[in-house]
Amino acid sequence: MKDTDADFIINKIGFIGFGLIGGSIARAIKKSRPHTLLYAYDHHANPPSADFKEALSDGVLDYVTGNLTEGFPDCDIIFLCAPVLANVSYLENLKHIVKPSCIITDVGSVKDNIHQAVTKLEMEDVFIGGHPMTGSEKTGYVNSYALLLENAYYILTPTSNTSADKLKILLNLIEEMGSIPIILDPKEHDEITAAISHLPHIIAATLVNLIRESGDISKMMKQLAAGGFKDITRIASSSPQMWQNICLTNSKVIKNILNRYIKKLETAYHALDEMDGEYLYKMFDTAGEFRDSIPNKSIGLINRIFEIYVDIIDETGAIASIAALLAGNHISIKNIGIIHNREFEEGVLRIEFYDEESEEAAKELLKRHHYHIHER
Ligand SMILES: NC(=O)C1=CN([C@@H]2O[C@H](COP(=O)(O)OP(=O)(O)OC[C@H]3O[C@@H](n4cnc5c(N)ncnc54)[C@H](O)[C@@H]3O)[C@@H](O)[C@H]2O)C=CC1
Ligand SMILES: O=C(O)C(=O)Cc1ccc(O)cc1
């Protein structure tokens, strides 16, 4: 534990909303501050959900309550980790409960909406907006893990009344989790995330629905859609409630960027109509060049997947040998399975890891053991 003011002050932290992100933050905090008490509010307290029972037995949470007046009044920090509209709905209640020194922060993917509510409720001195730029299409405490926050950018959006002390406490805590804090204005945040996260989620969902609704041929399309199509539409498997809430709260900004995107599609349509080979070539060429210049190493808003593809011989125990080799070298596997598609005619083993370090270590190790890795 680092010797900072923040260590001294933070005795108790509360969570409202305890799924993938709340659970991952709690796990990271419990790791670096085992003595800080972690409380969570269960909005379905009767009967308590399995996730909360598991978090208590894991030792990640110390207390779960169905009543915000229990434990939350003396929380030093409260994380709002529910879908964005639900987060906003708790502010008014919390205003009458929390102590003045409390920091209420959220993890929501939209920032202007909650800041507007905070201003209306005159809660600018207790609230600091937050958004960890990491996550996945998975939901729930069961999929949470402390490393999710590691090396991820974590945006903070202080208000005009945020004190330097409160900001420092939250910055320290975020750094302790292994994240990299960045301070942004809420509107600026929403512009950026609309383009690089909200629009891509809409594109992925509509593209998948296009295939789903393609009549008789959609069955065959589905069968052949492994590989590239599945890669670029992974995020279509994200939580529908979470994305509905994001779209409803950032609709104006998303509409602007969606409009620009529709124009791009129309131009592509026109180029096809006109058989404009020069335009089509340039479209793919400029996009490829720009995409290749996006850094590979850092974690972005849409998560990089740390995966490798390894040729294996089709015999019993082939997967087990690789799994044992990795485990024996302390490399944790997130997911493992055989892929059959046109790209890999013979069938290939796909192994997914939690971080880049494990991916690189696994590549080295398997190459040393004469496995063939597909460079992609
Ligand atoms: N999933 C992701 O990759 C990321 C999500 N976020 C933001 O984090 C927040 C949480 O998302 P996840 O943890 O991914 O979702 P999740 O679905 O895993 O967890 C959300 C939790 O909130 C609870 N919840 C729903 N309505 C509630 C209510 N009215 N009161 C209290 N709890 C309620 C659910 O039971 C669930 O346990 C969202 O605001 C989202 O925009 C931010 C960064 C990444
Ligand atoms: O699955 C992915 O890669 C994501 O896009 C995760 C994600 C979802 C919402 C956010 O606000 C930030 C990150």
Residue 247 included in any domain: yes
**Which atom of ligand 2 is nearest to 109's Cα?**
11
Q: Are residues 221 and 343 in the same domain?
A: no
Q: From CA 45, how far away is CA 6, in angstroms rounded?
A: 31
Q: Are residues 25 and 152 in the same domain?
A: yes
Range of the domain at 357: 306-374
Domain with residue 341: its CATH number is 3.30.70.260
Residue 98 included in any domain: yes
Q: From CA 46, how far away is CA 166, in angstroms rounded?
A: 35
Q: Are residues 140 and 12 in the same domain?
A: yes
**Which atom of ligand 2 is nearest to 200's Cα?**
5
Is the CB of residue 114 below 6 angstroms from any atom belonging to ligand 2?
A: no
Q: Are residues 213 and 241 in the same domain?
A: yes
Residue 366 included in any domain: yes
Q: Are residues 179 and 199 in the same domain?
A: no
**pLDDT at residue 101, rounded to an integer:** 96
Q: Are residues 180 and 215 in the same domain?
A: no
**pLDDT at residue 1, rounded to an integer:** 37
Which burial class, exposed, middle or buried, applies to 15 when counting CB atoms under 10 A from its CB (0-12, 13-18, 19+)? buried
Is the CB of residue 109 below 6 angstroms from any atom belonging to ligand 2?
A: yes
Residue 143 included in any domain: yes
Residue 299 included in any domain: no
CA neighbor of 261 nearest in space, from 253, 211, 277: 253
Interface ipTM: 0.99
Which range has the worst mean pLDDT, 11-20, 44-53, 59-68? Answer: 44-53
Q: Residue 182: how many CB atoms within 10 A of its CB?
A: 14
For the segment 108-135, what is each residue's pLDDT rounded down to a tens digit?
A: 999 999 999 999 999 999 999 999 999 9
For residue 108, give both structure tokens.
């929501």
What ligand has the least distance to the C-alpha of 21? 1
**pLDDT at residue 299, rounded to an integer:** 61
For the segment 67-101, what is each residue's pLDDT rounded down to a tens digit?
A: 999 999 999 999 999 999 999 999 999 999 999 99
Q: Are residues 19 and 96 in the same domain?
A: yes
Q: Is the model's pLDDT at 140 over the cut of 50?
A: yes
Residue 71 included in any domain: yes
Q: Are residues 347 and 262 in the same domain?
A: no
Q: How far, in Å, is the centroid of ligand 1 from the Cα of 109?
A: 10
Residue 317 included in any domain: yes
Q: Are residues 133 and 179 in the same domain?
A: yes
